[in-house]
Amino acid sequence: MDQIKLTIDGKAVEVPKGTTIYKAAKTLGIDIPILCYMDLKGLNIENKPGGCRICVVEVEGRRNLASSCSTDVSEGMVVKTSTIRVLNARRTVMELILSDHPKDCLTCAKSGKCDLQDMAIKLGIRNIPGQEFAEMSTYRLDTSPSIIREMDKCIMCRRCETMCNDFQTVGALSAVNRGFMSVVAPAFEMNLEHSPCTYCGQCVAVCPTGALTEVDHTRNVIAALSDPTKTVIVQTAPAVRAALGEEFGLEPGTLVTGKMVTALRTLGFDYVFDTDFAADLTIMEEGSELLGRLGKFLAGDKDVKLPILTSCCPAWVNFFEHNFPDMKDIPSTARSPQQMFGSIAKTYFADKIGVKREDLIVVSIMPCLAKKYECQRDEFSVDGNPDVDFSISTRELGFLIKQANIQFNGLPDEDFDKPMGESTGAAVIFGTTGGVIEAATRTAFELHTGKSLSNVDFKELRGLEGIRHATIDFGGFPLKIGIAHGLGNARKLLEDIKAGRSEFHAIEIMACPGGCIGGGGQPLHHGDSTILKARAKAIYAEDTSKTLRKSHENPYIIKLYEEFLGKPLSEKAHHLLHTHYFDKSKNTFSI
Amino acid sequence: MSSVKIELRKDQIEKIHEICKSFNYEGGELINVLHKCQHEFGYLPAEIQEVVAEQLKLSVAKVYGVVTFYSFFSMIPKGKFPISICTGTACYVRGAENVLAEFKKQLKIEVGETSADGKFSLSCLRCVGACGLAPVVLVGEKTFGRVAPDGVKAILAEFEQ
């Protein structure tokens, strides 16, 4: 590869041809300030529209300043990154960006975690000249079940567009209009609800300002907790425990399961349960469904729908309902663990403790924004009463704990309540890409072959590659498994199935990078794959630490079937634990 | 940008398919495809954009983004007699703005809009190369030079019958 020699701030450096000034400076330890630029290295996603001009630098012999994030180095280039001219330009650029930006920082949902705010602090902005004459951005508020668009606060960095289009291939967002009127919006500037948005929340995860935020349900949770007539129970998704600590300054990958349980109990939840219990239940249903379809296939049934696709990721469900409605009979009909939990809580558990359905409030803590939408789907409620009342994100739980003045890092470890707090190692790995299919494999293998697994670690299913595949020996039958995370990768597998090119028997799909550990509701990972890897490691560590690591060995799941559900795929199980899908391709742009 | 809801006929959809095909269904040809479509249909309603997006395998949001970025594209049907007022430098200094204001007043519409009876639509353009005639107004194919605000009524009357 050609090497280019240049000088940055008086220091000589040699970098490969095609390197940007910004990256070349980085190799020298010079951190040029950036705002719109985003480099998600682990995902091979780079956003460099060169639009904000915060990263400008002086290049000798060049008339104007160059945006370092989008200008490639050239031989003999002499770059100065912090001359007075550069500093003045950055300040002016920042003042202009701020001139029409709302000034409600004190109450903004992004306050304290806002890249724009950080940059204003860094550049020492204290006043904005000409503010009194500046026209303010105004744009209607767009509130969907999961995501709020407050486009007054959009600085047109277009990171969201990059995630939505390049990574997820959802195409809900695009820059529209021009000049002062430009915003990022769905087609025809309709609300997100009428776009192909899957609510994966990756746009929220990368938004540098308060322009894209999650719908805040913490108020509803506080109201429920303070209502003496309600019994309030909570379930926590597997990925939450591997990331919540980051909200309190702990290292990524610090497992805080016990502290989280204590914090939730301190907040006043009557029962602290685990979504992992329902994940074990999901494996019982989904695994049985896989074996059922596989059995038919092996018996020569040509019409059997294979591959079976996992269905626990609500953004993925939204994605295929919008984009592949003709394939909606391929995914498993098993509801997601969140919904299985809600359904069992409001029937079996409510009965057990003698509380009426409407007096039981189910709250879920999720790494996900699509879960907010999922729990509001009509098919997941009974007479208007939802199975899961409120879903809040890992970040929102962080806010709640801080508001309650709980000193999280000093909390002792406590255990989940019984019966819906008991889970196996198979359930906790649901939180990372490859985990659901590994959990399903552990159970399906034993049920199919009648043999006991000597080693439950299917390491060939793990990793952070966007698309992975493995073949597992199912007692002589080679079970071909596919795994994708990120909807762009999922789309490739789906196109293969559609074209009849797919050889897989089972495919796991998760919408977010790394699976739920990189969910849109998690502490912001800024695309740093080392953070995702650390979280995945924590998840697998919790799996290894458990005595029971196969879903069908969870004693409370066995009891649930004995006392209530009968068998997997029984009529009752179908009624409470399965669902059906809709063709949403048509109502997307009906205006 | 507001739009009128329409239903495309089968032959119209086929026409869009044909245009997309002539550009090899290449996403990079979006602007050219939209140009052709606008030439064919007069404007680019949401329904046309959806078909184009589907054919070129682009998101509808992206197509809409391009349509709203370039002032040449319109989502509102042009009037039977589209009025274009030159606001290029020469016309501007010779009072094009007052002429434009008078057209807006007479037709009760803004730039980019079409009169309720569908007869006239109003747009601005930059220089038609007839600066000697400034300020210049085009109505349909016809050119009017040295237009003054008090001459606007007469121009409109010419097309009223």
The reply to whether residue A185 touches residue B61, judged by beta carbons under 8 angstroms, is: yes
Could you tell me if residue A195 is left (phi over 0), alpha (psi between -120 and 50 degrees) or otherwise beta? beta
Q: Which residue of B has its CA nearest to A162?
A: B62
Which of A154, A156, A176, A495 should be substituted to probe chain B, the one whose Cβ sees the most B Cβ atoms within 10 Å? A176
Would you state the pLDDT for residue A591? Answer: 37
Nearest by CB: B61 against A174, A177, A591: A174
Q: Which residue of B has its CA nearest to A169?
A: B59
Residue B68 near chain A (CB below 8 Å): yes
The reply to whether residue A172 touches residue B59, judged by beta carbons under 8 angstroms, is: yes
Residue of A256, A232, A261 whose CA lies nearest to A244: A256
pLDDT 10s digit of each residue in chain B, 161 long? 445 578 899 999 999 999 999 999 999 999 999 999 999 998 999 999 999 999 999 999 999 999 999 878 989 888 889 999 999 999 999 999 999 999 999 999 999 889 988 899 999 988 888 899 999 999 988 999 999 999 999 999 999 86
Which residue ranges form the domains of chain A, and what is each CATH number?
3-96 (3.10.20.740), 100-128+135-214 (3.30.70.20), 219-577 (3.40.50.1780)
Nearest by CB: A188 against B3, B59, B69: B3
| Residues of B with Cβ-Cβ distance to A492 under 8 angstroms | none
Would you state the pLDDT for residue B23? Answer: 97
Q: Which residue of A has its CA nearest to B3?
A: A188
Q: What is the pLDDT of residues B25-68, one digit of tens each?
A: 999 999 999 999 999 998 999 999 999 999 999 999 999 999 99
Segments of chain A scoring below 50 in pLDDT = 590-591
Q: How many CB atoms lie within 10 A of CB A56?
A: 25
Q: At what angle do helices B46-56 and B30-41 cross, to 10 degrees?
A: 140
Instruction: State how far residue A11 is from chain B, nearest Cα, in angstroms.
Output: 41
Active site residues of A: 286, 289, 312, 332, 371, 374, 379, 516
Instruction: State how far residue A139 is from chain B, nearest Cα, in angstroms.
Output: 13
Q: How many CB atoms lie within 10 A of CB A493?
A: 22
Q: At what angle do helices B46-56 and B10-22 cross, to 10 degrees?
A: 40
Question: Taking every pair of C-alpha atoms in chain A, what is the biggest distance, in angstroms?
Answer: 81
The reply to whether residue B50 touches residue A589, judged by beta carbons under 8 angstroms, is: yes
Nearest by CB: A174 against B1, B5, B65: B65
Instruction: State how far residue A589 is from chain B, nearest Cα, in angstroms.
Output: 8
Q: Which residue of B has its CA nearest to A175?
A: B65
Residue B65 near chain A (CB below 8 Å): yes
Could you give the CA distance from residue B158 to residue B161 in angstroms, rounded to a whole number? 7
Would you state the pLDDT for residue A549? Answer: 96
Instruction: Name, in order, each residue with C-beta under 8 angstroms of A109's C-beta and a sequence gap of 6 or more.
Output: A148, A210, A213, A214, A216
Would you state the pLDDT for residue A454? Answer: 87
Would you state the pLDDT for residue A1? Answer: 65
The reply to whether residue B3 touches residue A189, judged by beta carbons under 8 angstroms, is: no
Nearest by CB: A177 against B49, B58, B68: B68
> To 5 degrees, how large is the angle CA A347–CA A370–CA A174?
160
The reply to whether residue B61 touches residue A195, judged by beta carbons under 8 angstroms, is: yes
Would you state the pLDDT for residue B137? Answer: 96
Could you give the CA distance from residue A560 to residue B151 in angstroms, rounded to a whole number? 86
CA A542, chain centre distance (Å): 20
- How large is the ipTM? 0.87
Q: Which residue of B has its CA nearest to A165?
A: B59
Nearest by CB: A187 against B5, B64, B69: B64
Instruction: State how far residue A310 is from chain B, nearest Cα, in angstroms.
Output: 26
Count of A-B CB contacts under 8 Å: 53
